[in-house]
Chain A
Amino acid sequence: MRQIDSDFLALPLRQLADAALQRARDLGAEHADFRLERVRAETLRLSDASLEGSIDADDLGYAVRVVKNGTWGFAAGIELTPEAAVKVAEQAVEVAVISAAVNREPIELAPEPVHSDVTWVSSYEIDPFDVPMRDKVALLADWSGGLLRDARVNHVQASLMQVKEQKFYADTAGTSTTQQRVRVHPELEAMKVQDGRFESMRTLAPPVGRGYEYLTGPTWDFPGELARIPEHLQEKFGAPSVEAGRYDLVVDPSNLWLTIHESVGHATELDRALGYEAAYAGTSFATFDRLGTLAYGSPAMNVVGDRTTEHGLSTIGYDDEGVATREFDIVSGGVLVGYQLDRRMALLKGMGASNGCAFADSPGHMPIQRMANVSLRPAPDGPSTEELISGVDRGIYVVGDKSWSIDMQRYNFQFTAQRFYRIENGRLAGQLRDVAYQATTTDFWRSMEAVGGPQTYVLGGAFNCGKGQPGQVAPVSHGCPSALFRDVRILNTVQESGS
């Protein structure tokens, strides 16, 4: 197991925490927590195998969050001295005192055992920040160059995002945690331009909670995937336009993860369901009164939340409220049975303990309830993707994510993909263009006839899921098998545009 970087541990973590928490106690805070974090992010972008731009940046600072007079107070600072930390604590208390005048809901937190002086490091082999930038650029340029040498490709965009997140947390109950995790996301997109038209084809390799070994090791077959892209692109360019109508869909994990994210992941955040995101991200059709009774999907639908999944983007040992992370059920046998929680939401609705879903993306932001890795379980002895396709007479096989949109209560969604294949009599019959699928969440999940077996399961995900005001981004993974959906509405996007 890797160790937390010594330069982070050398920062005055406990000194600042002790000073801030003691000051908050002295000022009568009912609860106080301190979080110091450094988030280092490096981004490279290449255009047609040439470096277009790069930035190696970090965010370093600390935050003090208090409950005083039953009201949150939050302040964040950047000067790493005990005197400055004391002032930030005073600011947080001041904000709470001022805000209490317009607060009608006392803040209380679900209990959590004390986790004293614990550490956690994510599972990775090569710290991406230890790899010289020239090596990374050379690898992406090599991959891009390979695509550009194919006459079917006119342009290639390549990018690599890498993040290392280090957090120290301490609270007035006695919990203190020190954690470090890394994540990477390489992506290449090839484009064909011809006769006033253009099409693109992107890699399906998901972002992961791994190190640089993801790009060079056996986890994902990058050379193999890149070698197939020109052919996929050429076929897409010449594919017939889809006939709008209703089709059976076999959805590949490379596409289904995003549908899960939007229609299940966000819909089962309890803060949304209770209205605390109503003005911005929205609410949820999966309201609390339907817990235990809502037929979310077919009996084949079993969804879990889990911040302990190895290599998951949301995976961590303890959340930003000092809660030990765990796995929990969200949908069982098609029925809504659980929500994602933070400590306040858990207590507010009598859910017992938090399941560890508090997260802040920066030292300057207050933790909010964010998504666990929300995943659809495969059927233990389930079919392969080919077997699912073989059960479809007239349908479409959907591969890779592209465009996504869903309404503010998570009913109506519309997705496109990297590739759509026509299915005729149980066999793939070439790609289609101009396709989007559109459905209502519960109609869609209730139409899920079968899920694939573990051999079809892939952990997909997103680097930058947005939520909250001020806006925050969070990384999250979603595992899923291939799955078969019956009678889904398909649009022709060219017809939609009126062209």
Chain B
Amino acid sequence: MSPQEMIEKVLDLSTADDVVVIVDEGSSANLRFAGNTLTTNGVSRSSQLTVISIVGRGVGVVSRAAVRPEQLADIVAAADHAAEDAQPSEDARPLVEGGRSSDWDAPADPTSIGVFGEFAPALGRAFATAEAGGRKLYGFAEHIVTTTFLGTSTGTRLRHTQPTGRLELNAKSPDMKRSAWTGVATRDFTDVDVAALDASLAQRLEWAKKRIDLPAGRYETLLPPSAVSDLMIYLYWKAGARDALEGRTVFSSPGGGTRVGEALSELPINLSAVPAAPGIECAPFVVAHASSRQSSVFDNGLPLEPTDWIAGGRLTNLLQTRYSAELTGLSVTPEIDNLVMTGPEGGRSLEEMIASTERGLLLTCLWYIREVDPQTLLLTGLTRDGVYLVENGEVVGEVNNFRFNESPVDLLRRLSEVGASEQTLPREWNDYFTRAIMPPVRVPDFNMSTVSQAS
């Protein structure tokens, strides 16, 4: 039974007032490597049916994997029964009306181990180059394709295919004392140049041959796009309108309400989400498998438009469902699965920013980022895989790692430079979020709280 047939059958079987049906057909392939050799690898398939029954204002959600046709009636009955039994949902709204994708009838798009057809041999050659150059390569390559079919009792028939590829490449010296990282996001691995990435890591390991120990303190610091993305993604996750309205986030106004409209930065920074942004395309409609504080099953199928979260340095929108938008009196701006940050026109490249630095630190990436204080959105975490000292426009050596304590919201206020944006792979959050375009930034006084001995 095809996903489309399954959806129609579920809609026929349900006795609920309204029904939302989501089928996610997934496939993945991955290669993992360590010390210039492959370690684990594999391929897998998945198929998930989610039935969201609505009776009155009650909702029942049942989701099952690998569903066989003879199981459909039981699954639908379970969802219908759960909806009849449920408390009224406060986010209940009429379902979105209609909408049909032009390719609705097409089958799901799978991936396979073949996606690495050119990449895997290139990786093998990179292993040989690294071995000859006294480096060891560690990392992970993954390609996932998920095709989501969304059908509702109000006639919606929408479909989206999301390819998600990522490569993390980590080079280390044989004694593991020097380490460098890079990563790329890709839709199909045809644009991944492993040799060039390995060469950039080789240069960083060369930089690291001179070791400079620095104490904890506040330093002028250049954060590359990957590090910026990890901080901005955390900010984005915490930008829920309802939580802000209830006074429980950094985006709550001390006098009540939200901080929407308030200037967060003197620089004209923009933070936005654009479903059709080239290279980071994502679903152009809401897909919500369950309601939460930042999503609503009733919003399934709602079109997603380009949305500014911060525009010209000012907080413009927060993550909204239709329900929370009514509470806050603000626009309906649901979460979107990509993030773009830009600064003033003419921003410089990271290399140009290094060249104009008198004395400062250059980070590679951040790791183990966790919230310390939700009131200020103070985060802690560590530097990883290369912190370099820049003096008079040049990298002069590698510095020890640090633990930082910083709030990304406060960082926006203190930025002294925002460079040219480019597509990047977040380091810590790339399990969940890969679609980001971010700039490098300069912070005059980044808080390195303590030294980390890790290398």
Contacts and interface: CB of A to CB of B under 8 A. Distances in A.
Contacts of B370: 403-405
A132 B85 CA distance: 9
Interface in B359-383: 367-376, 378, 380-382
A469 B140 contact: yes
Centre residue among B44, B123, B181 by max chain A CB count within 10 A: B44
Contact of B42 (A56, A366, A403, A491): A366
B368 A405 contact: yes
A91 B39 contact: no
B124 interface: yes
Interface stretch (B2-10, B26-34, B93-101, B310-318): B26-34
Contacts of B33: 102
A220 interface: no
B63 interface: yes
Interface stretch (B277-285, B350-358, B402-410): B402-410
Given A76-B45, A434-B373, A491-B405, A412 B65 contact: no
Contact of A275 (B60, B138, B140, B450): B138
B66 A61 contact: yes
A496 B405 contact: yes
A104 interface: yes
A74 B372 contact: no
A443 to B, nearest CB: 10
Given A77-B45, A405-B369, A469-B30, A193 B248 contact: yes
B142 to A, nearest CB: 6
A191 interface: yes
A497 B373 contact: yes
A98 B120 contact: yes
A99 B248 contact: no
A493 B59 CA distance: 41
A103 interface: yes
Contacts of A101: 120, 124
B176 A278 contact: yes
Contacts, number: 268
Tell me what chain B mostly uses at the interface: helix, strand, loop, or mixed.
Answer: strand
Interface in A36-74: 43, 45, 47, 50-61, 63, 71-74
Contact of A133 (B85, B253, B371, B374): B85
Contacts of B293: 47, 52
Contacts of A411: 452-454
B38 interface: yes
B247 interface: yes
B65 A75 contact: no
Contact of B65 (A55, A58, A132, A191): A58
B388 interface: no
B403 A412 contact: yes
B278 to A, nearest CB: 26
Contact of B403 (A77, A137, A407): A407
Given A409-B455, A491-B405, A493-B372, A279 B62 contact: no
A196 to B, nearest CB: 3
A469 B142 contact: yes
Interface in A259-317: 275-276, 278-280, 282-283, 285
Contacts of A494: 373, 376
A104 B31 CA distance: 14
A407 B31 contact: no
B454 A407 contact: yes
Interface string B336-360: 0000000000000000000000000
B253 to A, nearest CB: 8
A283 B48 CA distance: 35
B151 interface: no
A387 B148 CA distance: 59
Contacts of B190: none
A241 B208 CA distance: 41
Interface residues of A, number: 91
Nearest to B296: A53
A155 interface: yes
A137 B87 contact: yes
B289 interface: yes
A77 B47 CA distance: 10
B328 interface: no
Given A191-B248, A438-B403, A491-B405, A75 B38 contact: no
A3 interface: no
Given A50-B87, A408-B384, A409-B454, A79 B168 contact: no
Contacts of B290: 43, 53-55
A109 interface: no
Interface in B264-306: 289-293, 297
Interface of A: 43, 45, 47, 50-61, 63, 71-80, 91-92, 94-95, 98-99, 101-105, 132-134, 137, 141, 154-155, 191, 193, 195-198, 200, 275-276, 278-280, 282-283, 285, 364-366, 368, 403-412, 414, 416, 434, 436, 438, 440, 466, 469-471, 489, 491, 493-494, 496-499
Given A193-B247, A469-B168, 5 more contacts: A52-B90, A60-B65, A71-B38, A102-B120, A408-B367
